[in-house]
Amino acid sequence: MFDSLPLCQCLKIKYPLILGGMAWIGKGALAAAVSNAGGLGTIGSGSMTLVELREEINRCQMSTTKPFAVNILMLDPAVEEKVSLLLELRVPVVIFGAGNPGAFLETFRRAGAVTMGVVSSENLALLLERAGVDFIIGEGCESGGHIGSVTTMVLIPALADLLRTPVIAAGGIADGRGIAAAFMLGAQGVQIGTRFIASVESDANETYKQMILKSGIRDTVVTGERLGHPVRVLKTSFSKKIKRMELDSSEEAERLLLGSYRKAYQNGNLHEGSFLAGQSAGLVHEVSTCQEIIDKMFTQATTILEYTNTHIIERRKNEQRGSI
Amino acid sequence: MFDSLPLCQCLKIKYPLILGGMAWIGKGALAAAVSNAGGLGTIGSGSMTLVELREEINRCQMSTTKPFAVNILMLDPAVEEKVSLLLELRVPVVIFGAGNPGAFLETFRRAGAVTMGVVSSENLALLLERAGVDFIIGEGCESGGHIGSVTTMVLIPALADLLRTPVIAAGGIADGRGIAAAFMLGAQGVQIGTRFIASVESDANETYKQMILKSGIRDTVVTGERLGHPVRVLKTSFSKKIKRMELDSSEEAERLLLGSYRKAYQNGNLHEGSFLAGQSAGLVHEVSTCQEIIDKMFTQATTILEYTNTHIIERRKNEQRGSI
C-alpha cells in the first residue's frame, strides 16, 4: 500500500518507517527486528567501539535479509574508521547525524549506498540536498536525544517547501496518528525512536522500558542547553539536578553527564543515568514486539486516512446532490 | 463539508477554526473578519480596560451576525468585572485562558454561552472536562504567547485519548497541512493565531506584520522561562537581551518586560517591544484578508486529505485485484 512512496521504492521495504538512530539501544538485533517487520532498522554507532560496531553489523546481517541502516555521527572521534568499516561491510544505508558529512557523502554514494541526513534546521538540509543526499530526516525538538528548537508541526512543512529531496518526519510520533499527521505535513515517511525502546527486542534494561511506559507527555526535560548541546531525557532527580547545575557549574554538570547514557541503558541507574526519550514517551503504554508495533501503527494510520477522507468525500457528494 | 464536526454543529459556522485569543491584536474588527469568513473570531480581552472591551464587543456585534468569542484570562485583575460585562452583552462564546475558570464556567453555562478552555497539559484539561466545558483547546508549545512545554504532535493525541470533550488543536498551524495534520492527531478543529497577525484586518503595526513575513521557523525565542511565565516571541535584540538578563537580574528583566507587548503592537518598537508569535511565523509569507487566508487553508486541507486517501484506496483496490 505504501510501496509507491520513495523510501519503499528505493529500498524495497514494506513500510516507510526508519528506526531512529539511538546510542546504546540501537543494536543489530533491534535493527534486524525492525527490518524484518517491514521497516528500515538502524544501528546506532555513536556509543560503539569499532569492534562492537563490526559485531553488531554482522549480527544484523545474519538476522535479516532486508536492508538496514547504520547511523554515524560526524562528531564521533572515530568517524573515519567507522566510515571505512561501513564501506568494507557494504552497509546498504548510511544515516548521518550531528552535522555535515562533507566528503563522506560522495564516498558512500559512489559505493552505491543510500544516504540520509538528520537535520533540525533548514540550513543543514539545504547543504545536504546540494551535496546529493537521498533522504532528509527532519527531526522536531520533541524528539529524544540531541535536539534543535523547532517542532515537527512546523519543521516538516518548512522542509517540504524548501527541498526537492523527500523528507522523513521524526519527533513526537508513537502511533498511527503521528504517521498520518506526518504525511499531511508533507513528509514521505517517518522515523521513530522512543516507541521502539519499549519493544521486546530492545535490550534497554527493564527499568528504562518501565519508565517509558510510566512517563506522561510532560515527563521529559532538556538538559545541556546552557552547555551548548541540548538533549531531551526523561525527568528524574538526576536530570533535574543537571539542569540546575548547568546554570552555575557547567564543568561539574559536564563531568556528571559523562557516561550517564550508559548508566541509564545498562543499569537503569536513576541517580546517575540519563534516559534519552522523546515527549512521545507519554503515548507509549505497553512493551510489544517490533512486528506488533509496526503493523498496528500502520493499520491505524491507514484507517485514519481512509475514515477522514470517506467522510469528506461523502459529504461533498451530498452537497453536490443538493441534499444538504 | 465540515458541518458535521462538533464546533460547526454547535455554532453553525462553516469552518472548524477559532482565532487565537491575542492581547492587543484581538480586536473586534479582526474577530468579526474571521467570523464573517466562516470561522469563529475571538476578541482578546487581556490587554483591554472594561471600557475598551465593551467598545470592541459592540464593534464586533455591529460588524457580523455570526458568532464570535471573547478570550478571558483568569489571571486578569479585572476578571470578575469582565465576566459581568460578557454576561451583560450576551457574548455567545467564552474562551478561558491562563487557568481554571472555577465557578465562572457554570455561570456562563447557565447563561447559555458556549464555553472553551485553553490548556497545555492533561491536568487542567481533565479539570475543565469535569467542570463541563464544551471544547478543550490544546495548545502546543510552538505557539506564540504564553506556552507550556509539550508540542502539538504529542499533546493532541494525549488529550484525544484522555477526554470525551472535543479537542481543538493550536500551535504550529499556518496552512492546510497543519489543519489536516491536526485532524489526523485526533483534533476536531483548529485554533490559529500567528497567521492572522499578518492579515489585512489585523491592526498590528506594519513593522510587526513585516517581521512575521520575514521570520524563519527558528526566529522565535522563549522569554520568561526563568521568571516562571514562558512566552514565545520573535527573536530581536530586545528578546535576546531579556533571555540573558533573566538568568541574573530577574527584577530588571521583569521591569523591561512591562509594557513591552504594547510597544511592539502599537509602535513596532524593536528595542523595547515583545513581538508575540509562534514558530509557524516561518510558514507565513504574505499579508492577506481573513477570507483569503481561511478559504485557502481549508481548500488546501481538503485537497491533501482527498489526494492522500484516493492514492491509498486506489492501491488497496489494485492489491485486492492482484495487479500488484
Question: pLDDT tens across A97-139, in order?
Answer: 988 899 999 999 999 999 999 999 999 999 999 999 999 999 9
**Confidence bin at B258 (pLDDT 50/70/90):** confident
DSSP letter string, B93-118: EEEEESS--THHHHHHHHTT-EEEEE
Domain contains B75: yes
Domain contains B318: no
Chain A neighbors of B279, CB-CB under 8 A: 150-151, 154
CATH number at residue A151: 3.20.20.70
| Nearest residue in chain B measured CA to CA from A312 | B1
Per DSSP, the three-state class of B15 is coil
What is the count of structural domains for chain B?
Answer: 2
Which pLDDT score is estimated for B324?
41
pLDDT in tens, A217-227: 999 999 998 88
Q: Does residue B323 have a pLDDT over 50? A: no
**A128, A106: one domain:** yes
Please report, rounded to a whole number, the percentage of residues in chain A having pLDDT higher than 90: 80
**B212, B245: one domain:** yes
Q: Is B71 on the interface with A (CB under 8 A)?
A: no
Q: Is B3 on the interface with A (CB under 8 A)?
A: yes
**A35, A82: one domain:** yes
Other C-beta atoms lying within 10 Å of the C-beta of residue A289: 13
Domain contains A298: no
- Residue B89 phi/psi, 5-degree rounding, is -85, 5
Of B158, B185, B312, the CB nearest to A306: B312
- Whether residue B3 contacts residue B34, with contact meaning beta carbons closer than 8 Å, is answered with no
Cα separation, A215 vs A219, in Å, equals 6
**B191, B228: one domain:** no
| Nearest residue in chain A measured CA to CA from B3 | A315
Domain contains B304: no
Which residues of A, range 90-149, sit inside 8 Å of B by Cβ? Answer: 121-122, 140-142, 148-149
Domain contains A302: no
Residue holding cell 539536578?
A241
**B89, B231: one domain:** no
**A155, A46: one domain:** yes
* Across B135-161, average pLDDT: 97
Q: Is B49 on the interface with A (CB under 8 A)?
A: no
Q: Flag if B150 and A279 touch (Cβ within 8 Å).
A: yes
**A62, A149: one domain:** yes
What was the ipTM of the complex prediction? Answer: 0.95
Of A180, A184, A282, the CB nearest to B154: A282
Domain contains A255: yes
- Whether residue B13 contacts residue B66, with contact meaning beta carbons closer than 8 Å, is answered with yes
Of B198, B220, B245, which closes a domain? B198
**A193, A213: one domain:** no
**A213, A66: one domain:** no
**B217, B165: one domain:** no
Query: Across the strands, what pairs with A169?
Result: A138, A190
Of A182, A198, A214, which closes a domain? A198
End-to-end Cα spacing for chain A: 34
**B146, B21: one domain:** yes
Helix and strand counts by DSSP (H, E) for chain B: 14, 11
**Confidence bin at B296 (pLDDT 50/70/90):** very high
Q: Which of A190-199, A229-238, B217-226, B240-249 has the lowest mean pLDDT?
A: B240-249
Cα separation, B159 vs B126, in Å, equals 9
Q: Distance from A30 to chain B by nearest Cα, in Å? A: 24
Of B167, B198, B229, which closes a domain? B198
Domain contains B303: no
**B29, B115: one domain:** yes
Q: Flag if A153 and B152 touch (Cβ within 8 Å).
A: yes
Q: Does residue B264 have a pLDDT over 80? A: yes
pLDDT in tens, A298-322: 999 999 988 766 665 555 666 666 5
Of B174, B178, B305, the CB nearest to A309: B305
Cα separation, A203 vs B137, in Å, equals 39
Q: Does residue B13 have a pLDDT over 70? A: yes
Tell me the whole-structure pTM to 2 decimals: 0.95
Q: Does residue B310 have a pLDDT over 90? A: no
Which residues of A, range 250-269, sit inside 8 Å of B by Cβ? Answer: none
Q: Which of B29-43, B164-178, B264-278 has the lowest mean pLDDT?
A: B264-278
Q: Which of A44-53, A167-176, A261-270, B9-18 has the lowest mean pLDDT?
A: A261-270
Give me A201's grid cell. 527486542
Domain contains A269: yes
State which residues form the domain around A259.
206-280
**Confidence bin at B313 (pLDDT 50/70/90):** low
Which residues of B, range 172-201, sit inside 8 Å of A by Cβ? Answer: 172-175, 177-178, 180-186
Q: What is the mean pLDDT of chain B?
A: 93
